[in-house]
Every structure is written in structure tokens, then in C-alpha cells.
């Protein structure tokens, strides 16, 4: 089967992809995924986001690339390239309001047959990852995994529109601890309590 260079293979099912054939034939595929199709990503989106179900576009391309073997010869090996682009709403940890974050994924994978082979594969190139291929490979799972890895550890605006009131209450005075000060004010002085008890019984102590 011959395909024009650069033309996506629209018949490829991203949830049941024959990854070996995809790479061997140098096929390409592209599509779009909504956040609602990726449950773990959806869990990261705040409930009060303006749009919880944003769309990510993706492109995948298989290839066979020469690789040096143990016997010193070169042999073609299967590779997958994946690109994903889109935006997701997250909660800013500085002002606690939703903000839109753009995510870009551009990854290259060496396809291997088993988990053991993946563990033993020499990672000389930091830009290449290793995945275990199959005849029913779920590309959507891989896309979601890469998007989750692309999320910032601490989501926040570059410049917040406002600071949340709960953060304004902390550290309003330099060197002061509002929580500790409040605790000191509320703690009764035992000597003052004793004096009050003595003063409330003018006739003396009762035994």
C-alpha cells in the first residue's frame, strides 16, 4: 500500500494501533482529543474553569531507522514520533483562580517488544524514550501520559490578576505570625484567673 508523503493515515485507530506495522510502513496519523476523553487530565481541570473540555490536536509518524547491532552491523528498527498541542485550564496556586496553560509535546520513541527489553535498552540519547509496542497499541493512553508529564509542578499565572484573600491574611506584618498572636491572646493567664476566683468570694474560702 503506497501513501503520499506527509498524508495522514486516517484509517488508523488510535486506541488499537498496530504499532509495528505503523512504523514499518512509515505511516502517519493525526487527530484531535477532548479533555473529557482523558479522565486523568480532566481531573486536573478546576470545576469553575471557563471551558473544562478543551481540545488537543496530535500527530503521529512511524519510521524505521538504522541502529547499530551487537555484531557491528546496522539494522532498521521501529520508531514512533508523537506531537501534541493544546491548552488546558488549571488552578493557579498563587491566586487560586483558573488560568489557561498551553502544552506542547514533541517526543521520539524507540519501539521494543517486551518490558525486559525496555529495561535493558541503553538510553544514550536523552531525547529518545522507549515504549513497548503491540498490535493493539493505545495511542490515546500515551498521549494522556505525556500531557500529564507536561503539567507544571506548581501551576501559576505569569502575573496574577489578583491575590487571593486567604494569602493576604498571612504575613501582613513583617516578622509577625497572625496565627501565633491570636493563640496568645486567647490563652488565659492562670494567675489572673486565680485572682478572679479569690475576688468572687469575699467571705473567704469554702472547704
Q: What is the pTM of this model?
A: 0.72
Query: Of 59, 73, 70, 72, which Cα lies nearest the Cα of 28?
Result: 59
Question: Taking the domains of the chain in order of start, what are their residue ranges?
Answer: 19-150, 165-199
Divide the 207 residues of the chain into consecutive groups of 10 and give the mean pLDDT of each group. Answer: 41 87 96 97 97 97 90 91 98 95 97 90 79 96 97 94 64 43 45 52 49
Query: Of 14, 130, 24, which Cα lies nearest the Cα of 75?
Result: 24
Give the strand pairing for 98-112 and 55-68.
unpaired
Report d(CA 41, CA 53) in Å as an integer. 10
Report d(CA 28, CA 25) in Å as an integer. 9
CA distances from 17 to 37, 138, 140, 181, 194 (A): 17, 6, 10, 62, 80
How confident is the model at residue 142, as a pLDDT? 98
Contacts of 60 (CB under 8 A, 6+ apart): 12, 14, 22, 28, 29, 30, 80, 81, 82, 83, 139
pLDDT, tens digit (0-9, with 9 covering 90-100), for 117-176? 888 887 666 788 999 999 999 999 999 999 999 999 999 999 998 765 665 555 444 444
CA distances from 141 to 36, 60, 63, 75 (A): 13, 13, 20, 29
Q: Write down the residue that cell numbers 474553569 correspond to.
A: 49
Question: Nine-digit cell at 169?
Answer: 491574611
Amino acid at each position: 500500500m503506497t501513501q503520499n508523503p506527509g498524508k495522514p493515515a486516517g484509517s488508523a485507530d488510535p486506541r488499537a494501533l498496530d504499532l509495528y506495522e505503523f512504523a514499518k510502513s512509515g505511516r502517519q496519523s493525526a487527530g484531535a482529543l477532548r479533555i473529557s476523553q482523558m479522565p486523568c487530565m480532566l481531573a486536573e481541570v478546576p470545576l469553575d474553569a471557563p471551558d473544562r473540555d478543551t481540545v488537543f490536536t496530535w500527530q503521529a509518524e512511524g519510521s524505521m531507522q538504522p541502529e547499530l547491532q551487537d555484531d557491528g552491523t546496522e539494522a532498521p528498527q521501529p520508531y514512533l514520533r508523537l506531537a501534541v498541542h493544546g491548552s488546558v485550564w488549571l488552578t493557579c496556586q498563587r491566586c487560586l483562580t483558573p488560568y489557561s496553560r498551553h502544552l506542547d509535546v514533541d517526543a521520539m520513541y524507540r519501539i521494543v517488544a517486551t518490558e525486559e527489553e525496555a529495561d535493558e535498552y541503553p538510553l544514550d540519547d536523552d531525547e529518545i524514550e522507549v515504549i513497548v509496542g503491540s498490535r493493539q497499541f493505545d495511542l490515546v493512553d500515551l498521549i494522556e501520559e505525556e500531557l500529564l508529564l507536561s503539567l507544571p509542578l506548581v501551576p501559576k499565572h505569569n502575573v496574577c490578576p489578583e491575590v487571593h484573600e486567604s494569602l493576604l491574611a498571612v504575613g501582613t506584618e513583617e516578622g509577625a505570625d497572625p496565627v501565633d498572636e491570636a493563640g496568645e491572646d486567647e490563652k488565659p493567664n492562670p494567675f489572673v484567673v486565680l485572682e478572679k476566683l479569690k475576688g468572687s468570694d469575699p467571705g473567704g474560702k469554702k472547704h
